[in-house]
Structure formats: C-alpha cells, structure tokens
Amino acid sequence: MAEPLSPRLLSNVTAFEHEWTALRECVSPWRDEAQLAKSFPGANWPRLILLAEEHGVLGHLAACLNNNSPVLAPLEVKQLLLERRRAQNFLTLRLTGELARLLETFGKAKISALVIKGPVLAAQAYADPSLRTYGDLDLLVRQRDIRHATELMIASGYEAAVSLAAIDAGKIPGQYLFSKLDSKLVVELHNDLTLRYFPRPLPLEEFFARQVCVYIDGREVPAPCVEDELVLICVHGAKHFWERLSWVADVAGLVSRQASMDWERAASTAKAVQAERLLHAGLRLAIDVLHAKLPEAISSQVQRDASAAKLESRVLRWLPAAGYAPPGLFERAAFRLRMCGSFFAAPAYLLRLSLSPTEEDWQAGDKISKNRFLDAFRRPFRLARKYGRPNGS
C-alpha cells in the first residue's frame, strides 16, 4: 500500500498539509479526541504513514490509532503499524540489553557514563519504549576515558569510526561512533568536546554530579536529570534545525510527564551554556506545534523571547517537510548566528563551528591529517560544497 514519497513531493508542503495537521494532533500529549476525529477524514493513509516514518513518530501514530481511538483507520493500516511497532519493540529490547552489558563493562573499568536520549528519554518523556523510535545508544563519557572506552568497545566486537591513532593525535570528532555491522548495533560516545553546538562548553562534571537513575527493564541506568536532559535535547534539535517532528515531540513529552520539573534548574543549566534562546525555541515549538501546556510564568517568559520567536518562525518553514526542504547555506548560517545569545558572541560562535574540524575534515579512509590549520581551513569549503547544493544533497 506504500505510495512513493519523493523528496520533491515532501518539499511541497501544501501537497500533504492535511496529513501534517492530522499527524501533529496525533503526536500531541494534549490531543483533543474530538479534534482528532475531525483531522483524519480525507487523509491519504499511505502518505500519512510515510510522513510519520520520515518524522520518526510511527510509534505515536500506532498508539494514537489503538482500539480506543475515535479514528476509524483501515484494518491494513493498523496491521502495518502493529508490525512496525513490534519491530521497534524487538530493537528496543536488543538495545537495552546491549546498554546493560556496556554499562557493566564500563563500570568494571571505572569509566563513568550517562545515558542520553534513546531509552532514557523514552522512559522519561513517554513511559513507553515503543513510542520513541531510536536505533542507537548515546552515552556521555569524559574525554580522559575515551581511549580506554574505545579499547573496550573494540574488544567487545565493535568497529571504531575514530581510530586509536586519531585519539592519540588529539583529533576531536563530531562523536565517537562504534558499530557492529553483523548485528546493526550503533553506539555513540559524546562529551563536552564533541558537543560543539552548545554555545558554551557543556559543564560535564555538573551533569555527572546531578545525575539520576532511570529504571529501564527493571535496571537502574545513570542519566542526566530531567532539567539537564531538556536543555540537551533543545540544543540537539537546534543543531539539526528541528527538521523532525520527533524532536519537538520529545520536548513536549518530557514537559508533559515531568510535572515536578525544576524550571529554575533548567533555566540555570541553559544560562550556563548560553542556550536560553535555544531552550525557549524548543518550548515554543512544543507549544505552537503540539499544544504544550507549561506553567503560566514559564509560558509567559518563553513567549516574550523575541529571539526565540525568530528561530521558531524559521523552523516552521521547513519542519513539515521532514528534512526534504532543508535551509540553504546562507539560511543555515543565519540560523546559527541566531542560536547564540549576544551580538558579539554570535559571530564568534558561527566562526567556531565553521572552523572546528570533525572527522569528515581530518580523516580520509585510514589516513589522518596531521595539519590542524589545513583541517580548519578546508572545513568551510567542505560545508559550502555540501550545503550549497539544492536540498542540501
């Protein structure tokens, strides 16, 4: 029943506006059942399913169209969603099992790690692992432990995208990526050096000091506190220009389920990394796209942030297209400038991002560049080639 959903079709937002409206209503934690029933009649089901898939919210759609839903979905649609949800459940079980094994391995080696996004966010934001679609594991690990952690990952059968030689040479990637091709397991290690899209360095030690335990499959898993996680996912969404509804859903889900959220703590974390407007932009998107309800004082503060409003207005232009109508090179640069807080800090922030090489700049196959100046010099030209093309392709 799958109808081809081409990039050309997705880039034309008006072509699937009805499905986009229905999907938003379905994903919202505050959805109105009566409004939901009005949104679906006339929807193109193959297009809706594929749109949900591109936005990473198939689990939300499946949960929405359960037997208690006022929406009368075709039987084959419900069956397809049930199969997709079952497949995600199996993957989730594999990932959480692997997560437990890795945390035990790291623990024996005295390597501290915090689990971010993935299974932890599924528990904190949805209390249902099948709702959030994810296919990898993300951990925060101190830079001093990266080499030993890499050795352990290699010994566990993973292939390291960043070699020990590159680590010894002091090269900093966008993330330390590990994969098992035979089992399709992917793990990413992050720290304050790889998370370069924070306007100021991530206070990693404070994240570790405020860590909490989240129960996943009956196991205690170390994770950032919900306030730190909220700031982290808002910066992550901004890093990717908020091109997926799933990232907005994560923010909405987290603030809806975590009623005891310490908003002063969240504001303090955001201020420490100069990400106040990124936090506010994420919360504005949750409000305007998914009907999020925040405490009155917080909602008023968010709505008064004119800089966050400008960020949101840009995001709303391309968000429905699920990445198939990405911002162009100059629009990306303008967005990055607006991500940072002050008139003087913004150009410095954009310059740092433009000249901070990642593995794409200093690694070619097995060869590792030894000239950091040339790595930095090449980076803006590579970015121009990559994002200066139509549709960022």
pLDDT in tens, 53-74: 999 999 999 888 876 677 778 8
Output the average pLDDT for the chain. 89
Q: What is the pLDDT of residues 76-85, one digit of tens each?
A: 888 888 888 8
Question: Count H helices, E strands: the chain?
Answer: 20, 9
pLDDT value, residue 2: 45
Question: Could you tell me if 96 and 217 are in contact, meaning their C-beta atoms sit under 8 angstroms apart?
Answer: yes
Using CB atoms within 10 A of its CB, is residue 206 exposed (0-12), middle (13-18) or buried (19+)? middle
Among residues 52, 3, 9, the alpha carbon closest in space to that of 391 is found at 9
pLDDT of residue 6: 61
Question: 25-34, 58-67, 198-207 — which is least confidently predicted?
Answer: 58-67
Residues 6 or more apart whose Cβ sits within 8 Å of residue 127: 257
The pLDDT tens digits for 357-389 are 888 888 877 788 877 888 888 888 888 887 775
Q: Per-residue pLDDT for 131 more than 90?
A: no
Task: List the alpha helices (DSSP H) in 305-344.
Answer: 306-318, 329-339
Q: What angle do CA 130, 131, 135 make, to 5 degrees?
A: 65
- The average pLDDT across 335-352 equals 81
**326 pLDDT band (50/70/90 cuts)?**
confident
CA-CA distance, 219 to 21, in Å (whole number)? 38
pLDDT at 3 over 50: no
Distance CA 39, CA 363 (A): 49
CB 77 within 8 A of CB 105: no
Helix (H, G, I), strand (E, B) or coil at 66: coil
12 Cβ neighbours under 8 A, 6+ residues apart? none
**With contact defined as beta carbons under 8 Å apart, do 240 and 247 qualify?**
yes
Q: What is the dihedral of CA 325, 330, 332, 337, to 10 degrees?
A: -150
Dihedral, 109, 212, 131, 137 alpha carbons, nearest 10: -20
Phi, psi (deg, nearest 5) at residue 44 = -85, 105
In the chain, the domains with their CATH numbers are 7-88 (no CATH), 92-224 (3.30.460.40), 327-393 (no CATH)
Residue 55 and residue 86: Cα distance in Å, rounded?
18
Q: How far, in Å, are 30, 123, 245, 340 from residue 129 at the CA level?
A: 19, 6, 17, 33
